[in-house]
Each structure stands twice: as structure tokens, then as C-alpha cells.
Structure 1
Amino acid sequence: MATLKTDLCDLLGIEYPILQAGMGGVAFGPLAAAVSKAGGLGTIAAISPTPQRVEEEIKLVRSITDKPLCVDIGFPPRAPQNPEPVAADEVPDPIRELEEEVRAQGVDVHPVDDKAMGIEDAKEKMAICERYGVEVIACALGTPEWAVEHAHKWGAKTISMVGRASHAKRAIANGTDIVVVQGTEGGGHTGDIGLITLLQEVLDFATIPVVAAGGLVTGAQIAGVLTQGAQGAWIGTRFINTEESSVGRNYKESIVEADHDTTVRELIFDGLYVRQLQNRFTEVWKGRMDQLLGYPRQRVAISPVRFAAAAADLKDQQALPAGQGSGLIRDISPAADVLERLVEETVAALEAAKKRVEYSA
């Protein structure tokens, strides 16, 4: 296999500067272990799962490999500790319709005890990571100084997910070790600034390693951001379509079938902007965006049907977070093979650029 290394590799103790994103409902122990074992940085998504589930996934990874592991925890500043339930007569019509359609397919929709993204939940998960010596903590939706200090106490590095230059400045001021700049092209929770512009904005002032994210699914793209100055790539959607990811076959097939303009970035998922594939889950909101409840009430109201449809892997009613790079993905492969392919493609693209472009210092 080709050699691909940046200073980020030494900082994190990994072989290749490719980091698998902590995608909710997608990235659990099997995927994280496969990526880490293959030389990248595998990540467990720890925002929605219970602390007990997070601990189980960490133990699973540790039973497979001793390579560095990352756990992605959410720290949004507006997160309530105990979200109030949404009254039945306040539930938006689109959510009611989705529930009816899901039930019509024999799927039970029931209340969800969702404590995710509350500060106490995050602290409990941090304590679990400390207990197992997790090497890297990814801070999503915010990077509080206390979280960085806690991670550093047991020797872990912190990665901060940002969608604006101002967020990167704040994370750096709070002591984070690495900044991942995610362009609007990315799937899941994402901002509104394109990757190439955002990456350059942050590179202009960053004093720590910067990693690029958002729509990156090929080695040629990774080569591009490395040339621009990034020290690594944070890859999400490409790793959804692996054998080890935890979503169902219908989710993965939807990505294979996606065209280059089939994603939308809306507030319907949980009240925060999320990019996802268009399907019935998104179409039911057309012309009715005025019924959105806002975060966190939208998350509370839609969670029962969202989790039920995901558990049943319903192709139409399931929320399908995915990036704009979906149109470039045409297969479902083992995660180690995807990592190897990305490394080989990146090296090939860098070599090709040398032959294609004439320049002198």
C-alpha cells in the first residue's frame, strides 16, 4: 500500500491522515474498529446513544484493535438538560403524516427517552472515555473549555468540528488540539460555507493542525485539500457505504442511487441544519416549513418516528443524512478497502499533479 503521511499522523498515532466521521446511527464499534485497524482514525458516534451503549461500543473496539480510537460527543451551547415533551396538539402535520405512513407498514412508533445533547449526558460519556483511555475526543456542535481540559487530563487529544471561522477561533482559544472545518457540502449537521473558502479562512490564522471535511469521497478531493494546506481529511458519507456501518441496506442503496443534486439542507431533522438525501421524510415538509418547531422541540417531536423508521430501514420515511459527494459513490465495500482506495487515489492524484502542472520556486 502507498505511503501517505502528514504531521497529523504523528500527533494522533495513526498511519494515514484519514479520519472517519462520527456519524449518528452509522458509526459504532464495528466501523470504528475497522478504520482504526486499517491505519486511519475510527470514530464512535456518541451523541444519541445512551452512555451504556457508548461503553459497549468502546469495549468492542478495544477487543478488536489497540489502535487509537476517537469518540464523538455533542456539546451544543443551547442543549437543554431535560427537554420538555411536545404536546400532542402541537405536533406538526408533516410529522403526523410520517407517523401514519410508518405505522401503516407495521412499524411501531413509540415515545423516545432521548437525553442526547444534554450537558449531563456529555459529562457522563466523557467519564466513560476517560475510564477506557480513549485517545481522541471529537467535540461536535461546540467545544467547551472544560471538555478540552478534561480530555487533556487523561492524555487525550481533542478535535473540534466547526462550520465557521469564528467557531474555529473560539475552539482554538479553548485549547483544542485539532480543528476540522466542515464545508456545507457535508452530510448531517453542517453550516452554509463551502469547504474551499472555509478551509482557507481557517488556515490563515490557525496555529494547530486543520483537517478538511465536507463532500470528500475520493482521493483526488483529499489530494486537493492537502495541497491547500489541510493536514488530513474527515470522511463521512463514503464510510456510510461500508459493510461495517450500522445503517440498513436501504440507506446504503439510496446513496448508491443518488444523483449529484439529491441532497437538501433543512431544519426538519432536529431543528438544526442537516444535509440529507431527498425522500418522503423531506418531501412531506414542502410548503409547510412554517410548522417547524425549532431546536430542541423539533428534535423531541420528530424523534419517535425518526428512530422508528431508521430501525426498520424504511427507504422513504427514514431520514438519510448524507453529503453532496453521494453522487460519486457507487458501491458498498469493507471499510478497510475504502480506506486503502482513498490512500491510493490520493497518492495517485498528487503524483499526477506533478506531471500535469509545470512550476518553479
Structure 2
Amino acid sequence: MTSQLRTPLCDLLGIEVPIMQAGMGNVAYGRIAAAVSNAGGLGSIGGIDITPEEVDEEIKLFRKLSDKPLCVDLGFPANAPKGLSDVEVPELPGPLKQLKSELDEHGIEVKPTTDQAISLADNKKKLEIALDHGVEVIACALGTPAWVVEACHAKGAKVMSIVGLAKHARSAIRNGTDIVIVQGTEGGGHTGEVGLITLLAEVLEFATVPVVAAGGLVKGAQIAACLTMGAQGAWVGTRFLASKESGSEDVFKQAVVESEYDSTLRSLLFDGLHVRMLRNRFTEVWEGHEDELSPYPVQRVLTMPFKYAAMKANLKTHMSLPSGAGAGMINDVPGAADILNRLAEETVEALQGAGKLVVG
């Protein structure tokens, strides 16, 4: 069935099915990436939230498990400081004091953390490591600097740019990106305000490179709709988060499966940039206290110790749970290859059904 689902993107990336697993932070490691790539899609390692040494280890793990193409997802925000020492951290705001009090009641200690997503130097090092390993694809989140594209092309790697606005797609194309991933506001993690269908239509009007759809995609019928509009593939996150090979905690996967159709919100509370996540106590403490939010990257430095403390303790109510708006349609935790095959089969069925429609 999957062999019937093929677009020019497959030839460009050396894959069999135009479905890619998103490089989610603290979720997408070598194991899930290998499972997806071995099944014919494009697997990704989320390199933003881990150390350069861990990026190296996860790429090596992938290469042991697969000889297929690999993507490494990195972040290059224009306003990222060189390191944590360059960020002036204010006193804890009221919501985080409340969160700390509640974590204390559970016997959970909040410790300072080294946040790899902050350091531009670390992300440059991660890029060097990935390219030295011969990684075939680099995904750029939160910006696609021309120097990154040049470095990738010099090593024969393709570049994919994840964007949330049409103007960002124009900029990425101007800087030489090979593929644009348009992520609608429905997506989990960092996301813009424009819905996927509108954003996809906007970018397809001027794009001179292949365009991939992202944001809330958990069913093949959704992917089929995007393909009929002109997208050449799909970038899927939350559906793969709830998989056996996902690096997310079991309680995180459980939270996705248990979520309702209106369980997510989009807020600045995570790191000062808009992030979509599941509602829980981590988000609830900020309600009515939005005036205490700090800009990126200060907000990120403030919240990360709480995020990691709750993660380590598996305290689902207080964890940060980035998730797409489609989470309410996810009700199981199968293997990543099974997810890929299911999505491909559903997409083909939807496309065949659409082909039977007669207008007039």
C-alpha cells in the first residue's frame, strides 16, 4: 500500500514514503528515528534540548540500527545568546514560586540545569557533529541562517526550514533552503498563529522548493488533504510522540492518549516564545499572571529547572507537555513503524476516495 504513496520529495531525500517524524525535543532520539527511517519515512533526532555529546551518541545509535537517511533537528533563533551565563535571571515570578511549593510537597527538588537550547555555540557544535557524521538532512527551527545552509550544502546535506509565517518561508528560500516545512498553529511545540490550511496555501503561491505540511496531523486523511493542495509531504510530531520507541516518558504518552479535543493551549509560558502544550498544573499556575511572563530566553531559563524536575519524577500533573491540537484523536501507543504504515495507508485510501468525487 505504501508504495502507492510517493512524491518528488521522496527522490530528493532518498526515502520511500513522504512522511517525516518531527525532531521533537526530549522525545526524538536515535531509536525512534531508526524505526521510522527503516519503515520508509524520514526519522529525525531532536538535537535542540540535548548536549553535543548526546547528539553524537544518538547519531551513532541511529547508524547502528539503520542505513537509511537521517534528519537532525537543530535551532538557530536570531536572538539566542551565546550561553546561559549571558542571561540575567530575575527573581522567580509568582507562578513559579507556587509551582516550587507544590513540587516541594511532593518531595521533588528543583535544581539548576544547563539548557542546551539556549547556547548558540552549542548548537553550532551540534551542527558540526551532525555534518561530520554525514547526516543527510538538517532541519532548522526558529530560523535558517544562510551560514547554516552553506555549511550543510558544503557537506552534501539537505536543509529543511520549519516556518510558521509566509514571510519566514520567503526568508528561508532566499537563504537557500531545500525544503520548507510550513507548521500551522495546530502544531505542538513552537508554533505561530496561522492555521495550516491557510499557511500552506499562502506559501504554495510563491515557493520555489518543495513544501511540506505540519501541525496537528495525526490522520492520513489530513495528510491527503495537504497533498491535494500541493504539499509534497508531511512532518508529523505528536502522533509519533505516542509510540513505543518515543523517548518521552510513559506518563507523557498516557497524557496524550487521555487528552480531549480541546486539551491544548498556545502560550508564552514555556520559554517566552509561543508553544502549544497540554493543559495541566504547569500551565494552570500562570492563568491570570500573564503579566509576570519574561521574554525569550529569560522565561526559558526560569522554567527549565521545573520542567526537568517534574520529568525526572514522572509527575504528569506538573510536567511540561508540548503537544499538537490533534492529540485528542490519538488513542493508542503502537510502534513507530506501525504508525508510519497506518498513516500511509490512510492517506492512500483518502486520496483514492477523493479521486472518485465528481464535480458538476
TM-score range for the pair, normalised by the shorter chain length: over 0.9
Corresponding position of 2:11: 10
Q: Which amino acid aligns with 2:28?
A: A
Corresponding position of 2:252: 251
Q: 1:237–1:326: 8 Å Cα contact kept in structure 2? A: yes
CA distance in 2, matches of 1:312, 1:152: 42
Q: 1:86–1:300: 8 Å Cα contact kept in structure 2? A: no
Q: 1:265–1:275: 8 Å Cα contact kept in structure 2? A: yes
Kindly provide the CA deviation profile for residues 169-188 of structure 1, in whole angstroms up to 9, marking residues without a partner as x. Answer: 00000000000000000000
CA distance in 1, matches of 2:117, 2:47: 9
Corresponding position of 2:287: 286
CA distance in 1, matches of 2:247, 2:194: 29
Kindly provide the CA deviation profile for residues 229-264 of structure 1, in whole angstroms up to 9, marking residues without a partner as x. Answer: 000000000001000111111111111111111110
Q: Which amino acid aligns with 1:267?
A: L
Corresponding position of 1:241: 242
Q: Which amino acid aligns with 1:358?
A: V
Kindly provide the CA deviation profile for residues 254-285 of structure 1, in whole angstroms up to 9, marking residues without a partner as x. Answer: 11111111110000001110000100001010
CA distance in 2, matches of 1:5, 1:71: 22
Contiguous gaps of at least 5 residues in structure 1? none
Corresponding position of 2:336: 335
Distance 1:117 1:148, change over 3 A: farther
Corresponding position of 2:151: 150
CA distance in 2, matches of 1:11, 1:297: 39
Corresponding position of 1:272: 273
1:103 is displaced (CA, Å) by 2.8
CA distance in 2, matches of 1:302, 1:52: 23
SS of the equivalent of 2:318 reads: coil
Structure 1 segments, 4+ long, off by >6 Å, are none
SS of the equivalent of 1:138 reads: strand
**Equivalences for 1:295-334 in 2 at 5 Å?**
295-334=296-335
**Equivalences for 1:72-221 in 2 at 5 Å?**
72-83=73-84, 84=86, 87=89, 90-221=91-222
**Percentage of pairs with the same residue:** 58
CA distance in 2, matches of 1:301, 1:281: 13
Q: CA RMSD in A?
A: 1.2
1:359 is displaced (CA, Å) by 4.0
1:86 is displaced (CA, Å) by 5.2
CA distance in 2, matches of 1:25, 1:115: 12
Q: 1:76–1:117: 8 Å Cα contact kept in structure 2? A: no
CA distance in 1, matches of 2:192, 2:157: 27
1:14 is displaced (CA, Å) by 0.3
Kindly provide the CA deviation profile for residues 275-305 of structure 1, in whole angstroms up to 9, marking residues without a partner as x. Answer: 0010000101011111111111111111111
CA distance in 2, matches of 1:164, 1:267: 17
Corresponding position of 2:223: 222
CA distance in 2, matches of 1:195, 1:115: 29
Q: Which amino acid aligns with 1:249?
A: D
CA distance in 1, matches of 2:306, 2:253: 20
TM-score by length of 2: 0.97
SS of the equivalent of 1:276 reads: strand
Q: Relative to structure 2, which stretch is displaced further, 95-104 or 243-252?
A: 95-104
Q: 2:141–2:161: 8 Å Cα contact kept in structure 1? A: yes
CA distance in 1, matches of 2:283, 2:310: 13
CA distance in 2, matches of 1:105, 1:37: 41
Q: Relative to structure 2, which stretch is displaced further, 294-303 or 142-151?
A: 294-303
Q: Which amino acid aligns with 2:119?
A: G
Corresponding position of 1:36: 37
CA distance in 1, matches of 2:118, 2:170: 23
**Is residue 358 of structure 1 aligned with residue 358 of structure 2?**
yes
Kindly provide the CA deviation profile for residues 24-56 of structure 1, in whole angstroms up to 9, marking residues without a partner as x. Answer: 111111111111111100000011100000000
Contiguous gaps of at least 5 residues in structure 2? none
1:313 is displaced (CA, Å) by 2.1
Kindly provide the CA deviation profile for residues 293-341 of structure 1, in whole angstroms up to 9, marking residues without a partner as x. Answer: 1111111111111111122221100011001101110101100000000
